[in-house]
Structure 1
Amino acid sequence: MKYVIGIDLGTSAVKVLLVNQEGTVCFEVSKEYPLIQLQSGFSEQDPEEWVKQTISALKDLVNRAGVSAEDIEGISYSGQMHGLVLLDARNQVLRNAILWNDTRTTKQCKQITDTLGEKLITITKNIPLEGFTLPKLLWVKENEPDLFGKAVTLLLPKDYLRFRMTGSLAMDYSDAAGTLLLDVSSGAWSTEICEMLDIPITLCPPLVDSFDMVGTLLPGVAREIGLSGSTKVFAGGADNACGAIGAGILSDGDTMCSIGTSGVVLSYEDNKNREFHGKVHFFNHAKGSAYYTMGVTLAAGFSLSWFKSTFANEESYENLLSDLGKSPVGARGLIFTPYLVGERTPHADAMIRGSFVGIDANHQRADFTRAVIEGITFSLQESIEIFRRERKEIHRIISIGGGAKSDDWLQIQADIFNATVLKLENEQGPGMGAAMLAAYGCGWFDSLEACAQEFTRVIKEFQPNKENVGQYEELYSVYKEIYPATQSVSTELYKFRNSKSN
């Protein structure tokens, strides 16, 4: 039996999977690393921690799995998007990486908008947000000019990790699309954006496809891990693109709902000229010559974990979610908005905050639990509504992440989305997508679609209940009124909190 390894470089930990030719995860190891938060709004990591913990995880994987090194044919990567890593002329890291969830760059986002206007959406298909790479680069240029002057190459997190393991400098299209420096239609770095913002285009590394072989392991790395020096290494992709591959989102109309800390609704797109006018993200897929459109709820699973830790800290998630069946559709007129850390889609608003609306003396904890779950799902429905408004057909949705662990929540998704929701047998997210890229790159399959047929298996379907769909449509209309009604209140409270914390 032959094997591949998928490496998922996340925000808080790296997870490595050993996957065989049947798509079975034979072994997995996870290693954590810390965030560096020097002040409010800052979120950084030491790239050396990624390398150290990944090498450690791979050593554990190889030592404990009992598989011959010669039988492990390939490695590929999934990585947290948008994080800025800057290298000097000797390929040494110049500063800590600035991560996707760093919010210091509001000023730079305005600078991009003022300088480029509609050109940015025309070229990159996206609007400037604090999470993207380009605003971070401009922040370094403005606030650390001496350091910026030493920068020769910019990379994203998984690209730096791969460079340290292979010596190859490159970036794949799916991650490059999240920098705001890629001309999505032409598939090249945008000379126009770089010139208008006075950024050397030479900072941008060579572009490759996610399934391209970029080299083999460096001899020292191979020895330390216990792998063969001939192990093939493939470029890999952005975590959302790899998550889509791992869920089999590989043809037009395929849609995925992923609920982790944040929530993502992602839909496959093969038309690079499709226009969403910046209302949702539009990125290159890790599958060649393909794209995906994506809406994001910033505090999806995080809203549930906040609710649990605050009101049911001693209980398991399973016990808490058993409340869903004790409260009817609509939680007896109670609505929750999951804006605990601001919102992304459709409201790019860092100051909006969450709320429970309609609290009655008769409401019980089960109603609050159901309201939280329904509110998270309503927020995700706002992305699906945008897709459908642009005439995208969405009938079947594969649900992964924490939202797929509860059958009651899956039924709520089917009813609110008014679509068939599918549950997978072995849902491993981006790490599986990375393994599939390696499997395809090694020639195990003649297409990613063929790989997905073998590696992904649906075990359960949830059909929308017509009566529930009607009730949710009525309640969803009310939900959408809450954001504009509370926006100014949230802004004033945001100012109050900041004034008291200074």
Structure 2
Amino acid sequence: MLLLGIDIGTSSVKISIVDAATQQAIVSAQYPETEAPIISLQNGWAEQNPDSWWAYFQQALMQANVSGKYDPKDIAAIGIGYQMHGLVAVNEAQLPLRNSIIWCDSRAVPYGEKAFESIGEEKCLSCLLNSPGNFTAAKLAWLKENEPEIFKQVFKIMLPGDFIAMRLTGDITTTPSALSEGIFWDFKHEEISKDVMQFFGFKNDIIPDCKAVFSTHGFLKEDVAGKLGLKHGIPVSYKAGDQLNNALSLNVMEPGEVAATAGTSGVIYTVADDLVYDKQSRVNSFAHLNYTKDNKRIGVLLCINGTGIMNSWIRKCMGSNKTYSQLNEEAAAIPQGSEGLLVFPFGNGAERMLNNKLPGSSIINIDLNKHTPAHVYRAAQEGIAYAFRYGLDIMRENNIEPKVIRAGKANMFLSDVFVDAFVNITNVPVELYNNDGSVGAALGAGIGAKIFESPKDAFTNMKCVKLVEPNGKKLYEKSYEKWKAELVKNLGE
């Protein structure tokens, strides 16, 4: 029995066909091969066309189908992971009314801050576990005020994964997890937040029907099935934001377990068993995949917007068309600490862990007689690791102390330089696995469709491919302290 996993990323859409018996991918594909564009009409804005995600998914699936490694008719369920916090608004014909305002767009920060103040900080934190900040509810408030003619046509709002599920099934659903990531969910009353909806002037009927994460979110339409070469009527049985989905792919489901990613953005994500929150909302708390009223499972998420995108910018501007592997090799030849060169990766929207400030990216301490592009390659990876350390220290302030971090052997975790810096500056061991988001979404589909008897049964074949432990030396500490001092000065603290 086969499972289809879809990962709607910022830079591409990746799919995997997974054999439920072995829990391994038979084939994976992604589209586009180069990074998908982000539309930025003004500084701090970031948009993508939802129809482009649908087109990318179809291209990726067609690539996998023509591999000949499986029969598409054997796919029994579909799962979707997706970039979090985006706003997709459709009319009654299920057509997008505008581009999606995606996760790293900063325009809605003032709307979230006003709601935080007006609803009350204590009430927001105790009921929503977050400030409305720059999340989906605040983005919808921006739309209501700045594009009122479009807002009047809104039939339903959704997140990127909901949009793809709608295209597949014709049904529009959401989950408590999705509502919590949009800051629409009241954890105290286990319902859509009356405070948020009333403050922003939203009607409840724009929110889709709410279902459990692992449940049937619709069945594949006949015309879509024919176009995709799949069997009509198979369920979409799982949908989750990418960081929750990444946690699933690493079997991070219970309190104390921790996952990390370093793709376009960087994340450390852990599970708690009570309604925890950071008083400054520098880290954020959402309903985890297995959250229920009687079994509280809260995902605590540290997000750094500028991680892999910083590495990508360095490659495009200074890499002379080199591959990431070549950049990693050259970076490895430079001494730890990059001979004083410091890189700050904050140039991809307002950073939550910096109180939604926009310090921008920068490179400082350049010695024109000493530093080479290879120094920049290394300093960028070290700077990203330093950003993780800065954020992890905020999590530690909130009594979160990881003993080990699980990560997929992908993106920046493919670089020995980055892994060495990450492990030694955070002083936390890292377990690396071959799982990724599209595989996790496929396994989630198997859980939702009850192909696996329990979530644990989906990970019986999961194996750590590499354990990296701190070496006990403080080689990065001095460089980090200089980096941190410059950051604090830049933030005006």
TM-score scaled by structure 2? 0.90
Match of 2:320 in 1: 313
Q: What SS is found at the alignment partner of 1:294?
A: strand
Q: Distance in 1 between matches of 2:98 and 2:352?
A: 31
Match of 1:500 in 2: none
After superposing the two structures, state which structure 1 stretch, 193-202 or 94-103, moved more. 94-103
Q: Distance in 1 between matches of 2:281 and 2:366?
A: 35
Q: What SS is found at the alignment partner of 1:216?
A: coil
After superposing the two structures, state which structure 1 stretch, 303-312 or 161-170, moved more. 303-312
Match of 1:13 in 2: 12
- Summarize deviations over 1:240-273 as a string: whole Å, max 9, x none: 1111111222222222221112211112222234
Q: What SS is found at the alignment partner of 1:431?
A: helix
Q: Distance in 1 between matches of 2:41 and 2:217?
A: 35
Instruction: Give the counterpart letter for 1:125 in structure 2.
Output: L
Identity %: 26
Q: Distance in 1 between matches of 2:448 and 2:74?
A: 15
Using a 3 Å threshold, how does the CA distance of structure 1 residues 410 and 34 change in structure 2: closer, same or farther?
closer
Q: What SS is found at the alignment partner of 2:381?
A: helix
What is the deviation of 1:227?
Answer: 1.5
- Summarize deviations over 1:50-90 as a string: whole Å, max 9, x none: 33443343344334345334421111111122222223344
Q: Distance in 2 between matches of 1:256 and 1:58?
A: 28
Q: Distance in 2 between matches of 1:348 and 1:159?
A: 29
Q: Distance in 2 between matches of 1:230 and 1:342?
A: 40
Matches within 5 A, 1:287-436: 287-289=290-292, 290-341=297-348, 344-360=351-367, 363-365=370-372, 366-400=374-408, 401-424=410-433, 426-428=434-436, 430-436=437-443
Using a 3 Å threshold, how does the CA distance of structure 1 residues 227 and 353 change in structure 2: closer, same or farther?
closer
After superposing the two structures, state which structure 1 stretch, 53-62 or 395-404, moved more. 53-62
Mind listing any 5+ residue stretches in structure 2 that lack a counterpart? Answer: none
2:273 to 270, 294, 302: 270
Q: What SS is found at the alignment partner of 1:18?
A: strand
Instruction: Give the counterpart letter for 2:178 in structure 1.
Output: D
Instruction: Give the counterpart letter for 1:379 in structure 2.
Output: A
Kindly indicate whether residue 136 of structure 2 is the aligned counterpart of residue 128 of structure 1: no
Using a 3 Å threshold, how does the CA distance of structure 1 residues 36 and 385 change in structure 2: closer, same or farther?
closer
Q: Distance in 2 between matches of 1:318 and 1:464?
A: 23
Q: Distance in 1 between matches of 2:124 and 2:353?
A: 18
Q: What SS is found at the alignment partner of 1:393?
A: coil
Using a 3 Å threshold, how does the CA distance of structure 1 residues 41 and 212 change in structure 2: closer, same or farther?
same
What is the deviation of 1:284?
Answer: 1.6
Match of 1:3 in 2: 2
1:51 to 54, 58, 79: 54
Using a 3 Å threshold, how does the CA distance of structure 1 residues 413 and 206 change in structure 2: closer, same or farther?
same
Counterpart contact for 2:48–2:99, Cα < 8 Å: yes
1:232 to 230, 235, 251: 235
Counterpart contact for 2:342–2:483, Cα < 8 Å: yes
- Summarize deviations over 1:276-310 as a string: whole Å, max 9, x none: 54120111222344221111222212222222333
1:108 to 108, 111, 117: 111
Q: Distance in 2 between matches of 1:148 and 1:342?
A: 24
Instruction: Give the counterpart letter for 1:198 in structure 2.
Output: G
Q: Distance in 2 between matches of 1:186 and 1:387?
A: 26
What is the deviation of 1:324?
Answer: 4.0
Counterpart contact for 2:17–2:26, Cα < 8 Å: yes
Q: Distance in 1 between matches of 2:62 and 2:199?
A: 46
Q: What SS is found at the alignment partner of 2:346?
A: coil
1:472 to 472, 476, 488: 476
2:452 to 417, 442, 445: 445
After superposing the two structures, state which structure 1 stretch, 472-481 or 20-29, moved more. 472-481
Q: What SS is found at the alignment partner of 2:231?
A: coil
Q: Distance in 2 between matches of 1:395 and 1:201?
A: 42
Using a 3 Å threshold, how does the CA distance of structure 1 residues 332 and 50 change in structure 2: closer, same or farther?
closer
Matches within 5 A, 1:121-160: 121-130=125-134, 132-160=135-163
Using a 3 Å threshold, how does the CA distance of structure 1 residues 352 and 465 change in structure 2: closer, same or farther?
same
Q: Distance in 2 between matches of 1:419 and 1:459?
A: 17
Using a 3 Å threshold, how does the CA distance of structure 1 residues 343 and 155 change in structure 2: closer, same or farther?
closer
Matches within 5 A, 1:92-103: 92-103=95-106
Counterpart contact for 1:250–1:449, Cα < 8 Å: no
Kindly indicate whether residue 491 of structure 2 is the aligned counterpart of residue 487 of structure 1: yes
Q: Distance in 1 between matches of 2:323 and 2:218?
A: 45
After superposing the two structures, state which structure 1 stretch, 91-100 or 237-246, moved more. 91-100
Q: What SS is found at the alignment partner of 1:15?
A: strand
Counterpart contact for 1:173–1:207, Cα < 8 Å: yes
Match of 2:24 in 1: 24
Instruction: Give the counterpart letter for 1:11 in structure 2.
Output: T
Mind listing any 5+ residue stretches in structure 1 that lack a counterpart? Answer: 490-502
What is the deviation of 1:405?
Answer: 0.7
After superposing the two structures, state which structure 1 stretch, 458-467 or 435-444, moved more. 435-444
Q: What SS is found at the alignment partner of 1:392?
A: coil
Q: Distance in 1 between matches of 2:302 and 2:25?
A: 29
Q: Distance in 2 between matches of 1:309 and 1:225?
A: 35
Using a 3 Å threshold, how does the CA distance of structure 1 residues 41 and 341 change in structure 2: closer, same or farther?
closer
Using a 3 Å threshold, how does the CA distance of structure 1 residues 334 and 73 change in structure 2: closer, same or farther?
same
Match of 2:173 in 1: 170
Aligned residues: 482
Q: Distance in 2 between matches of 1:308 and 1:48?
A: 28
Using a 3 Å threshold, how does the CA distance of structure 1 residues 236 and 356 change in structure 2: closer, same or farther?
same
Using a 3 Å threshold, how does the CA distance of structure 1 residues 433 and 174 change in structure 2: closer, same or farther?
farther
Instruction: Give the counterpart letter for 1:234 in structure 2.
Output: S
Q: What SS is found at the alignment partner of 1:264?
A: strand
Q: What SS is found at the alignment partner of 1:476?
A: helix
Using a 3 Å threshold, how does the CA distance of structure 1 residues 170 and 273 change in structure 2: closer, same or farther?
same
Q: What SS is found at the alignment partner of 1:142?
A: helix
Considering only aligned residues, what root-mean-square deviation do their CA atoms show, in Å?
2.5
What is the deviation of 1:275?
Answer: 4.9
Q: Distance in 2 between matches of 1:334 and 1:214?
A: 50
Instruction: Give the counterpart letter for 1:97 in structure 2.
Output: S
1:80 to 58, 80, 83: 83
